[in-house]
Amino acid sequence: MSKPRFLLDSNVLIDTLNREIDLLAFLDTLPDCEIYINPVVEIEVLAKEGMSVREESEARALLNSFKWIDIDKNVREIAIQIRRAKELRLPDALIAASAITLNATVLTNDPHLRDYQRTGYAARSCVLSV
């Protein structure tokens, strides 16, 4: 039996780095599982204007603590379908497509991703204040 899979949205990691949520404590509430991110999440997290060297180092360490899913042809094709239907913006479409490909639940505090509905897609909030 395979472990449950979760894909982190950018806002969860950004809120963690800003000390607005305690992601590690939240992850401890989940069953034994696999946690993923994709390159979109990396770009959004590291694109913060004015990020100090220390902040970037902390962000990269956090990002590297999770498994990665690449944006391969399958992910791109699903994202194309989502975009053609004008259901989500491109970054969110790539996150949703990654989750669908992985059969993972997106952990997000973004209402667009949390409330998005599509066959094979699931999302839930990640709230645990510090």
Q: What does the pLDDT read at residue 71?
A: 97
What confidence tens digit (pLDDT) does each residue in 79-111 have? 999 999 998 999 999 999 999 999 999 999 999
What confidence tens digit (pLDDT) does each residue in 37-56 have? 999 999 999 998 999 999 99
Choose the CATH number for 14-124 among 3.40.50.1010, 3.40.1180.10, 3.40.50.2300, 3.40.50.10360.
Answer: 3.40.50.1010
Quick one: what percent of the chain has pLDDT higher than 90?
83
Q: What does the pLDDT read at residue 2?
A: 84
Output b/e per residue, 102-121; b: 16+ Cβ within 10 A. bebbbbbbbeebeebebeeb
Q: Calculate mean pLDDT across residues 14-42.
A: 92
Dihedral sign (CA 32, 39, 116, 77): negative
Which residues, including other chains, have CB under 8 Å from residue 86's CB and lie 6 or more apart? Answer: none
Q: What does the pLDDT read at residue 66?
A: 97
Q: What does the pLDDT read at residue 14?
A: 94
Domain-wise residue ranges, the chain: 14-124
Amino acid of residue 61: A
Q: Calculate mean pLDDT across residues 61-88.
A: 96
Q: What does the pLDDT read at residue 1?
A: 61
* Banded pLDDT at 13 (limits 50, 70, 90): very high
